[in-house]
Amino acid sequence: MNKISDECKKLLLEESIDTASQIEYDVNGKVHTFTFEHIIDTYMQASDESQLVFLSALKKALTVEDIGVNKFFEGMGQLLLMSHLSDKFE
């Protein structure tokens, strides 16, 4: 893994947030589940600049307490899911 990924995971652990925490999405009766770790790892495949934006946004979400982190990962997971589903239709 890269340093930014490690830093993201370290930040979560420092806040006692398990990287195995899951977000579930129901799309037409089919449930898609992503762990926080999977979301982080997927975004770490993006450009260096995008990785830094992800890290900065995560840091900001952590300042809003637990609900901020959950909303952050819910939103990031939704983006991954939309990308995944759009790839299937191409």
Residue 84: its pLDDT value, please? 77
For the chain, the structural domain boundaries read 3-89
Q: What is the pTM of this model?
A: 0.88
Regions of the chain short of the pLDDT cut 50: none
Give the integer Cα–Cα distance in Å for 21 and 68.
14
What are residue 21's phi and psi, to 5 degrees? -55, 145
Residue 16: its pLDDT value, please? 93
